[in-house]
Amino acid sequence: MPLAAFVFNALALNKKSAVAGWVSTLAILVSTVCAVNVFARVWDSESYIHQQQVWFTIGATKVYVGLLLNNLSVLLLLLVSVIALPVHIYGMAYMKGDPHFGRYFTYLSLFCFSMLALVVADNLILVYAFWELVGFSSYLLIGFWNTRDKAVLANKKAFIMNRIGDIGLLAAIVTLFAQFGTFDIDALFGQHGLISQATIQDGAWVTAMGISMPAVWQWVACIGIFMAVAAKSAQFPLHTWLPDAMEGPTSVSALIHAATMVAAGVFLLGRFFPLFSETQLMVLAVIGCFTAFMAATIALTQNDLKRVLAYSTISQLGFMVMAMGIGAYASSLFHLVTHAFFKCLLFLSAGIIIHEMQHLKDEHQLDIDPQNILYMGGLRKKLPFTFVVCVIAACALIGLPLTSGFLSKDGILIQSFEWAGHHGGIWYLIPVFSIISSMLTAFYISRLIFKVFFGEFEPEKANPHIHPHFTDGGLAYKIPLAFLALSCFFPIFSFNPFSYESAWVVKGLTLAEHGGEADLLHTIIPVGITLVSIGIIYWAYNIYVSPNRKLFPQDTFLFKLSYNEWFIDSFYNNAIVKGTLSLSGALFWIDKTVIDGFVGLLQNIVLTLASITKWLDKYIVDGFLHTLAATTVAISNFVRGFQNGRVQYYLFSMMAVLLAFFIYKILI
Amino acid sequence: MISLTHFLITSAALFSIGLYMVVAKKNAIQVLIGIELILNAAILNLVAFGRYDKLNNNGQTFALFAIVLAAATTAVALAIILNVYRKYKTIEPDSINQLKD
């Protein structure tokens, strides 16, 4: 079994450029088959597979490398490969003719590989490594069209935001290792793992072995994990990279947003779930709820097709994180799965629309933005297949009955009400806000559908002479879309279309049986939400399609707030980017004047000292030697004068010396 | 009356003249003459002091010896001068400075 897993990992890593598309698709097909196989064996079998081997040893610490396959990871494994397969097939058609076709599939394979490896990794070091790889390969994919300035900016942004999260993850891992002395996920988070035995007593975090450290470290670990999740799964306040990441090819957006990158955050949350305490889960719930609400309001007014979908993704991810926060662990992952399918579907159909619009633009030299929904309309007749799958996905996103979204979303909403019922008081705000977000979702996605598919085709209205010949594309487009659309319906997940508890995903993941079910809630909420959603859809239809349309005032504060994405991006730009820049400027100035000045001063001092030394050397030391030498020369010359070989002179000298002696003798 | 002092003064004068000639003259023969003068000054002193030894006349005897020796050294010195002349074609002491290294 692990051998099979390793084989598909190796295959997924395959990097051939010429036939890269086929190779990658084949590889992902094989991994899908393997994943299904693994899934069938592990799922609900009350056991999990945990294989490991010693990787390296540091001191007394052994680090293992291995696989951990439990319900959570096989679910994600299946999800990732099943979503990646249609995206690969679609990508082969979508990227046809692109000069970097091979590079695209190489990156895509790397991305899938790192994601698949992330979900099966059994220790924190491996998780961190693949976490980084996922971030890195998404960086490559977002900036795939690296000649576009915007794409480069977007991938830089995504990368930096993800780095912030990586720091958090690293901090959390290090903290956990310091506390528990192991990287093994199973040992840490398993059924009777170390985390569940660790308790907080008197402000200290005590493990079962009796090692204790201040309780603040438990918070550090949780905040670190949360940072990582927020960066990967685009939670407030680190969500701004995701809309920008739309600069990548649309199929990449589908993969990143639907199945892999953003799922990594929720997956990590699922892995680390036992670590969080009650209070920390509440924080998670609040942040998730806030993100869901904020992103939904932003999505209301965006005009870029892909940005609407991006904010919709953020909103849905907010739902998932909130579900984790309220303890609806299974529902959260269930929503992750269903969302993966319908969001992938939405993105892929958006890809077709954008593709066709781009063609139209190139053909007729129109001055339109192929992603702007204001330039679309009436595509219902031109792209009938895309229209149908899009509507299905939108229904699933709204959570209409008979779709998968209905099951998962209502599961979250019901459980949030139950949770709020336990906590009471102000915590009712969370379900209320999530219901509002859910309503907003219904509105913005209907707005999208109506703007794109209903009404009249705007470019045609502006220039009547053009005759766009749109097609839904060949089988390579249709098969993935049909497959994903099929997956949006309830039977895939549950035979009972109205009860989320009977979905197999929820059954397999539920951690503990929850007690008395509030039956009233279970009927009222789905019915109420469905009715209100339908009302909202009708309202949106009235606004955007019917002839007597009423336009929203576009200058209110709320509109601006939403249109400018709550000013978060511009706040980051002003506060953080500019702040950093001016800080750098200030540091540069300090460097230049203070440090360089100090160094310059030092240099001058040294120079002066050196010249003094030089003078001393020259005139004192050398001078002494020179004097000595000169004296010697003078004496030598004087003495040499006597040795001139003339006998008479010698005699004279002798006499003179003798005389001198006598005179000396006489005088003394 | 000629006293001992006169003899000694004469002798000293002779010595000084001889010394001067040895040091200053530009001719080896004259230098030799100077040497003779110094020798004779010494002999004059020997003879002058010989009056204190009237019994054995040792002073006079030494003077005779010295005169004989002086004649011998003069002969040797002249021979040397002759050889020097042969070698250097001059007998000027200043130009014979091979004694230096």
Q: What number is the average pLDDT over the span A340-358?
A: 79
CA neighbor of A95 nearest in space, from A468, A444, A477, A396: A477
Cβ contacts (< 8 Å) between B93 and chain A: which residues? 646-648
Q: What number is the average pLDDT over the span A593-613?
A: 90
Statement: residue A518 has pLDDT above 60: no
Would you place residue A618 in the very low, low, confident or very high pLDDT band (cuts 50, 70, 90)? Answer: confident
pLDDT at A88: 76
Residues 6+ apart with CB under 8 A from A668: none
Q: Do A501 and A407 form a contact (C-beta atoms < 8 A)? A: no
pLDDT at A611: 94
A vs B: CB pairs below 8 A: 29
Shortest CA distance from B94: residue in chain A: A646
Cβ contacts (< 8 Å) between B22 and chain A: which residues? 648, 651
Place of tokens 């490594």: A129
Helix axes B28-49, B58-88, angle to 10 degrees: 170
**Residue B56 to residue B50: CA distance in whole angstroms:** 9
Q: Do B93 and A643 touch (CB under 8 A)?
A: no
Cβ contacts (< 8 Å) between A648 and chain B: which residues? 22-24, 31, 93-94
Shortest CA distance from B99: residue in chain A: A645
Would you place residue A514 in the very low, low, confident or very high pLDDT band (cuts 50, 70, 90)? Answer: very low
pLDDT at A114: 77
Q: Do A655 and B93 touch (CB under 8 A)?
A: no
**Residue A478 to residue A389: CA distance in whole angstroms:** 10
Statement: residue A6 has pLDDT above 50: no
For A15-19, A246-250, A388-392, A642-646, which range has the lowest pLDDT when averaged over its residues?
A15-19
pLDDT at A533: 72
Q: Which residue has the higher pLDDT, A252 or A40?
A: A252
Place of tokens 């997940």: A493
Kindly state the tokens that stand for B11: 């002798």
Helices (H) and strands (E) in chain A, counts: 29, 5
Q: What number is the average pLDDT over the span A31-60?
A: 65
Q: Which of A643, A647, A655 shows the shortest C-beta gap to B93?
A: A647
Statement: residue B15 has pLDDT above 90: yes
Nearest-neighbour CA in chain B from A647: distance (Å): 7
Q: For residue A489, what is the DSSP state?
A: B
Place of tokens 């680390």: A272
Statement: residue A202 has pLDDT above 50: yes
Q: Do B22 and A645 touch (CB under 8 A)?
A: no
DSSP-assigned beta bridge partners for residue A49: A69
Shortest CA distance from B24: residue in chain A: A648
Phi/psi of residue A58, each to 5°?
A: -120, 115
Q: Which of A643, A645, A651 shows the shortest C-beta gap to B22?
A: A651
Q: Do A646 and B31 touch (CB under 8 A)?
A: no
Q: Is B4 on the interface with A (CB under 8 A)?
A: no
Helices (H), A249-277: 250-254, 261-271
**Residue A567 to residue A573: CA distance in whole angstroms:** 10
Statement: residue B10 has pLDDT above 90: yes
Statement: residue A605 has pLDDT above 90: yes
What would the pLDDT profile of A90-108 be if each residue is shown by its tens digit?
Answer: 777 777 666 666 667 777 7
Statement: residue A614 has pLDDT above 80: yes
What would the pLDDT profile of A482-501 be if each residue is shown by its tens digit?
Answer: 777 776 666 556 555 555 55
Q: Is A496 on the interface with B (CB under 8 A)?
A: no
Would you place residue B74 in the very low, low, confident or very high pLDDT band (cuts 50, 70, 90)? Answer: very high
Nearest-neighbour CA in chain B from A666: distance (Å): 19
Q: Do A648 and B98 touch (CB under 8 A)?
A: no
Q: Do B93 and A646 touch (CB under 8 A)?
A: yes
Q: Is B80 on the interface with A (CB under 8 A)?
A: no
For A179-193, A196-210, A641-655, B78-92, which range has the lowest pLDDT when averaged over its residues?
A196-210
Domains of chain B, first to last: 4-91 (1.10.287.3510)
Q: For residue A372, what is the DSSP state?
A: B
Backbone torsion region of residue A463, taken as left when φ is above 0, otherwise alpha when ψ lies between -120 and 50, otherwise beta: beta
- CA torsion through residues A92, A96, A98, A101, sign: positive
pLDDT at A4: 44
Nearest-neighbour CA in chain B from A611: distance (Å): 47
SS3 A184: strand
Find out whether the peptide bond into A2 is cis, omega within 30 degrees of 0: no
ipTM of the complex: 0.79
Q: Which of B23, B96, B101 shows the shortest C-beta gap to A652?
A: B23
* Angle, CA of B75, B81 and B84, to the nearest 5°: 145
**Residue B26 to residue A444: CA distance in whole angstroms:** 136
Q: Do A645 and B98 touch (CB under 8 A)?
A: yes
Q: Is A639 on the interface with B (CB under 8 A)?
A: no
Q: Is B19 on the interface with A (CB under 8 A)?
A: yes
pLDDT at B75: 93
Would you place residue A175 in the very low, low, confident or very high pLDDT band (cuts 50, 70, 90)? Answer: confident
Q: Do A81 and A474 form a contact (C-beta atoms < 8 A)? A: no
Percent of chain A at pLDDT exceeding 70: 63
Q: What number is the average pLDDT over the span A459-464?
A: 62
Q: Is B94 on the interface with A (CB under 8 A)?
A: yes
Q: Is B78 on the interface with A (CB under 8 A)?
A: no
Place of tokens 């109506």: A450
For A366-375, A438-447, A522-531, A538-547, which range has the lowest pLDDT when averaged over its residues?
A538-547
Q: What number is the average pLDDT over the span A69-91?
A: 75
Residues 6+ apart with CB under 8 A from A269: A225, A229, A233, A284, A321, A324, A332
Q: Which residue has the higher pLDDT, A377 or B14?
A: B14
DSSP-assigned beta bridge partners for residue A205: A200, A213
pLDDT at A1: 38
* Cα separation of the two ends of chain A: 122
| Average pLDDT value over all residues in chain A | 73
- CA torsion through residues A230, A234, A235, A238, sign: positive
Q: Which of A645, A647, A655 shows the shortest C-beta gap to B19?
A: A655
Statement: residue A515 has pLDDT above 50: no
pLDDT at A162: 80
pLDDT at A408: 75
Kindly state the tokens that stand for B24: 């200053």
Statement: residue A511 has pLDDT above 50: no
Statement: residue A118 has pLDDT above 90: no
Kindly state the tokens that stand for A409: 């979303």
Q: Is A652 on the interface with B (CB under 8 A)?
A: yes
pLDDT at B59: 87
Q: What number is the average pLDDT over the span A520-541?
A: 68
Q: What number is the average pLDDT over the span A637-647?
A: 81
Cβ contacts (< 8 Å) between A655 and chain B: which residues? 19, 23
**Residue A354 to residue A573: CA distance in whole angstroms:** 29
Give the gyration radius of chain A's Cα atoms.
38
Q: Do B23 and A651 touch (CB under 8 A)?
A: yes
What would the pLDDT profile of A246-282 be if each residue is shown by its tens digit?
Answer: 777 777 777 776 667 777 777 787 777 777 777 777 8
pLDDT at A412: 77
Q: Is A646 on the interface with B (CB under 8 A)?
A: yes
Q: Is A551 on the interface with B (CB under 8 A)?
A: no
Kindly write down the DSSP assignment for every residue of A266-335, as one continuous string: HHHHHHTGGG--HHHHHHHHHHHHHHHHHHHHHHHH--BHHHHHHHHHHHHHHHHHHHHHTT-HHHHHHH
pLDDT at A631: 94
Mutation test of the interface with chain B: which of A642, A643, A644, A647, choosing the one with the most B Cβ atoms within 10 A? A647
Cβ contacts (< 8 Å) between B23 and chain A: which residues? 648, 651-652, 655
For A444-448, A452-456, A634-638, which range has the lowest pLDDT when averaged over its residues?
A452-456
Statement: residue A232 has pLDDT above 70: yes
Q: Do B100 and A647 touch (CB under 8 A)?
A: no
Kindly state the tokens that stand for A342: 């319908």
Q: Is A655 on the interface with B (CB under 8 A)?
A: yes
Nearest-neighbour CA in chain B from A638: distance (Å): 15
Nearest-neighbour CA in chain B from A654: distance (Å): 11
